Amino acid sequence: MKILLVEDDEVLIKVLTKILTTQNYIVDVVKDGEMGWTYGSTFEYDLILLDIMLPKLDGISLCKRFRTQGYTVPILLLTAQDNITAKVQGLDAGADDYVVKPFEQVELIARIRALLRRGSNNPFPLLTWGDLLLNPSTCEVTYNGRPLNLTTMEYDLLELLLRQCQHVFSSEELLDRLWSSEDFPSEATVRSHIRRLRHKLVAAGAPHDFIATMHGRGYYLKAPNTEEVSDLSATPPENNSQSVSTIATSRETQSDRPQDLMQPDSQQQYLAFLNETWTRTKPQSLDQMGILLQTVRDLQTNQLTAQQQVQAQQVVHKLAGTLGIFGLTKTMHIARQLEYWLGGREPLQPKHAPLMKTLVTALQQDIDHTTLIQMSQISAGQSPLLLIISSDTEFNQSIVAVAASRGIRIQIAPAADVAQALLTNESVLDGLGEDPDVILMRLPSIPSRSELIDQPNPEISNFWETLQTFAQRYSNLPIVVIGDRGDMGDRLEAMRRGGKLFLVTPTPAEQVIDTVVNLLRDPEIPNKVMILDDDQDWLRTLPTLLKPWGFKVTTLADPQQFWTVLQAVAPDALVLDVNMPQINGFELCQILRSDPHWQRLPVLFLSVLTDSTTQNQAFAVGGDDYLCKPVKGVELANRILRRLQRVRAWAN
């Protein structure tokens, strides 16, 4: 199948092309929106993978143009903006789905497969034509029970003929559908592949004209005899799939098969590819620091123009996406903070220069010190995120060093700046790229009580207001306050404002991080999770996404088997899709709540539906939480953990 990739980031182009070609997709690449329109409206593609921020024509506008002109090809958006507004804009423009950068490889491939399956004329996983069986999910091909060893192109050619078996394909159409625009193949190439494919089919017992030629028109599959068609149509697709799954077949070389990127060999190959790419990318990233450093210098002297600020924001936006690809999550979040400040509604002022200089310097140092990409970094996005609100550099550095050894990601924000942003912006954490899992707030040094009576300290007042704002806006997040003094007044104020724990300095950094780990991963919390969703590709990714939290995941695609599997598994939490065939998620939840034994089982709904009516209905039938697809593994895991924590707290 053929994919059009519209992306201007060279590094992301290389990585995406590697991932997609590994899965045997044919990829055409263009680097701006206008070229995306030219290619997408001229050639035929099975899917368009589209970045939002593009030169000449942005992704949202390009998506709208495709839809208003009647193009129905599935469109998957790539966005670095992990907020509801960006997602809604993309879906309203006509996109079928979206993935947030940095993305998990398995999730991206699963979403592509789901869109391709949804747009296919043949919804069944098994393609049949007479005695020929082709299983797209395993790339296994048999004729009358005999396996066919096909090259990648031979397999793609046969799959295309099967999926559009009523169509006569000219050589030009086959070249357009199966070869990249960079290959420059000829009609002789098509004839050569057809000849080799026919030879292998005949060797397996197929008639010589199984792939027939209509002179002057092209190639097509000759219809099997009536008895064969009748017998196949009487066999349920499920039975066909079951019988084929027992046949051991292979393509000519192992590398021709779509690879599971989570397998150790594939991981090591992908890691080697990332390190080779990083070697070339790192000098370019350091060169971009010059633009950002000049931005800081101009800001200090109050000479920064609006155009320079926009240019710097574009540079750091692309840089954040690049860093995320390599799993450099901490460094990426620094870039995201820079992007947040550069993209503010108001122009930057000289008073912001110290903060900007700190962030740019930290970004430059992190890039410079990264010489090798580690396997642990690739999946670092799944590890918990601790947001530290503190201007105490020594304290921050001690926490960062220990957190790295515990697998905790750190994001640091100066208290005063975060407080100011919280009071003027609806979502200050957009600058982080994702919500934190725990917040640690360093209480500024407190003057003596006599000084407080004579002159209120604005820094202390600002701290308490920040704490209260965070607690109200992110009520499910635990907030830890650490201060120099632990008297009754400080503790009472912290609890009244929404703090969960209070620590007193000097508390060793190891103890602070241990406190965070205990908040995140209580060993007494049960961890059996059952997930019901009719999207089988999505289900296959979930055990991997939830693995870092130690969940024992049971997945189910058939709602008819819900009650049987529920009783057998006895899960501690249940995740339900809303729209499913025969029985929807709301009905299953009502069935569950009608049984006294299951009335307190946590139920989380996970759906593509974002409207308030659906969400209200989910809570009305007994749901405990509602998440919108797509969802990151860290977000789903944290929602499950919080529900389990509440159940345990209620039981105690």
pLDDT in tens, 326-354: 877 778 778 877 887 787 666 788 888 88
What the block records as the tokens of 11 is 């590094």
pLDDT in tens, 398-419: 787 677 655 577 777 765 555 4
The kind and range of the H/E element at 503 are strand 501-504
177 or 281: which leads in pLDDT = 281
Hey, which residues does 133 pair with through a beta bridge?
128, 142
Hey, which residues does 308 pair with through a beta bridge?
none
Q: What is the pTM of this model?
A: 0.46
Q: 3-class DSSP state for residue 387? A: strand
Q: 3-class DSSP state for residue 390? A: coil
Give the CA distances from residue 466 to residues 359, 500, 555, in Å, rounded to whole numbers and listed in that order.
21, 15, 41
Residues 6 or more apart in contact with residue 188 via CB below 8 angstroms = none
Residues 162, 134 contacting (CB under 8 angstroms): yes
Strand 528-532: give its sheet, edge to edge. Answer: 552-556, 528-532, 573-576, 603-607, 625-628
Give the CA distances from residue 553 to residues 169, 230, 252, 384, 548, in Å, rounded to whole numbers and listed in that order.
45, 41, 35, 19, 12
- Measured CA to CA, the distance from residue 158 to residue 198 in angstroms comes to 10
The 10 Å Cβ neighbour count of residue 9 is 22
- Measured CA to CA, the distance from residue 212 to residue 308 in angstroms comes to 62
pLDDT in tens, 352-400: 888 788 888 888 888 888 888 765 555 444 567 788 888 777 787 778 7
Hey, which residues does 413 pair with through a beta bridge?
389
- Measured CA to CA, the distance from residue 71 to residue 67 in angstroms comes to 5
Q: How far, rounded to the nearest angstrom, does the alpha carbon of residue 428 sit from its chain's CA centroid?
A: 21
- Measured CA to CA, the distance from residue 214 to residue 216 in angstroms comes to 6
Place of tokens 């590994």: 22
515 or 253: which leads in pLDDT = 515
| Helix 10-22 with 306-325: angle, nearest 10 deg | 30
Q: How far apart are the first and last CA of the chain?
A: 55
Residues 6 or more apart in contact with residue 478 via CB below 8 angstroms = 438, 439, 500, 501, 519
Residues 628, 610 contacting (CB under 8 angstroms): yes
118: closest CA among 52, 59, 47, 176? 47
Give the CA distances from residue 549 to residues 235, 269, 570, 637, 640, in Å, rounded to whole numbers and listed in that order.
42, 26, 19, 7, 10
- What is the per-residue pLDDT for 507? 81
Alpha helix ranges (H) inside 93-186: 105-118, 152-163, 171-178
Residues 627, 639 contacting (CB under 8 angstroms): yes
What the block records as the tokens of 492 is 């009472």
637: closest CA among 440, 470, 472, 434? 434
- What is the per-residue pLDDT for 183? 61
The 10 Å Cβ neighbour count of residue 536 is 16
Q: Is the pLDDT of residue 425 over 50?
A: no
Least confident of 132-146, 367-381, 605-619: 367-381
Residues 390, 412 contacting (CB under 8 angstroms): yes
The one-letter amino acid at 94? G
Place of tokens 């064969």: 228
The one-letter amino acid at 416? A
Give the CA distances from residue 6 to residues 30, 37, 57, 538, in Å, rounded to whole numbers and listed in that order.
5, 9, 11, 24
pLDDT in tens, 49-91: 998 888 899 888 999 999 888 888 899 988 776 555 666 777 8
pLDDT in tens, 255-303: 333 444 444 455 667 777 888 888 888 898 898 888 999 999 999 898 9
Give the CA distances from residue 269 to residues 39, 251, 262, 272, 289, in Å, rounded to whole numbers and listed in that order.
31, 20, 11, 5, 30
Give the CA distances from residue 456 to residues 441, 447, 448, in Å, rounded to whole numbers and listed in that order.
20, 10, 11
Residues 6 or more apart in contact with residue 465 via CB below 8 angstroms = 419, 423
Determine the average pLDDT of the residues in 479-492: 82
The 10 Å Cβ neighbour count of residue 258 is 17
Q: Work out the mean pLDDT of the chain and round it to a whole number.
A: 76
Looking at the chain, how many residues does it have? 652
- What is the per-residue pLDDT for 596? 79
556: closest CA among 585, 588, 531? 531
Three-class SS string for 204-222? Answer: CCCCCCCEEEECCCEEEEC
DSSP structure class, residue 44 = -
